[in-house]
Amino acid sequence: MFLFVITFGSIMFYLEHDPSTSQQPPDTPGPSSQFSSILMSCWWVLVSITTVGYGDMYPVTIAGKFVGSLVLCLGLLWMALPMTIIVSKFGAEFDRETSEKGVCVKMSSCSILSGVLLYIRLRLDGRRTK
């Protein structure tokens, strides 16, 4: 993730940075680049891939908007892939626990929330009987 942020932060800085406005003070009227340093661009990438997106910085050039879209899509994939692993491990553990307790549960017939509540109840019941 560190390399992702550094790489795309640097790319966004070089695409969006306007050297003619970089020497102006921040309160000067007129156009100024929001991507004033690579560190600020890395901040934008980190905020964007975690889907917070404060809106304090945004790309204005066509190339910057394209790379920004790419960052958002790759960031969602980067964050979503571990979730599939966690959910599959939870499902496997849930199936193992319910089969040990002799409870027959069809996950397709109940929602995930009721499955989680049933799992918690089984865990608590198991602790009470021991």
Give one DSSP letter per residue of 46-58, joined into a string: HHHHTT---SS--
Round to whole Å and give the CA distance between 42 and 46: 6
The pTM (predicted TM-score) of the whole model is 0.58
Instruction: Tell me which amino acid residue 43 is.
Output: W
* Neighbour tally for 108: CB within 10 Å: 5
Please report, rounded to a whole number, the percentage of residues in the chain having pLDDT higher than 70.
72
pLDDT score recorded for residue 29: 43
Summary mean pLDDT of the chain: 76
**Does the pLDDT of residue 124 top 80, yes or no?**
no
Round to whole Å and give the CA distance between 114 and 127: 20
- Give kind and range of the element (H or E) at residue 13: helix 2-16
Query: Each residue of 67-94: pLDDT tens digit?
Result: 999 998 888 888 777 878 888 888 888 7
Give one DSSP letter per residue of 48-115, joined into a string: HHTT---SS----SHHHHHHHHHHHHHHHHHHHHHHHHHHHHHHHHHHHHHHHHT----GGGS-HHHH
pLDDT score recorded for residue 6: 92
pLDDT score recorded for residue 42: 92
Between residues 82 and 5, the one the model is more confident about: 5
Which range has the worst mean pLDDT, 55-64, 86-95, 97-106? Answer: 97-106
**Does the pLDDT of residue 23 top 60, yes or no?**
no
